[in-house]
Chains A and B, each alone.
Chain A
């Protein structure tokens, strides 16, 4: 059974860097792409970006200047760094596996709430 688990600080100060890691268990990290998706409290879902095991990555243009997504295939982990955070970055952050052909997010982590404090 594939499982994804987010980990990282739940509280980040404004202007600092948010860092989260997603650990994948029960399945291969190859073949799929791996995404970060967030949800501000009481609001909808927002896709942040993806990475493949090859290291190929892309993200939403609105976040591109602040986002880095990386992968460590030996540890079956991928990570998100979001710099210069503000209160608007307070959200539940999900990691998710995207199967291909056809594409779909078939496995999700439980989510990690990150609060940006002033």
Chain B
């Protein structure tokens, strides 16, 4: 069966510090991968998605970047965090091709102080 792992679960970082959040998927190959951000009590905002290694599409201009160095690894990064980067970050995966829904990880709560 397929599983998605996301870490860390919580993170408190000072303004101006770098960020690296990691997501890995097991039990499948060539998945589509996604990063979402959710502000407190709000909806899901798609940040990045990837259909393959080193293939990243950005949905919104922002202070963050994403990379996919391996088939089942997706990384969300920032060189210098802003207060507005605080939120709940969710990684998700789907099968390539005709798919039915995405499967989400358990999320990372990021607080920038």
Please say whether chains A and B are actual partners in one complex: no
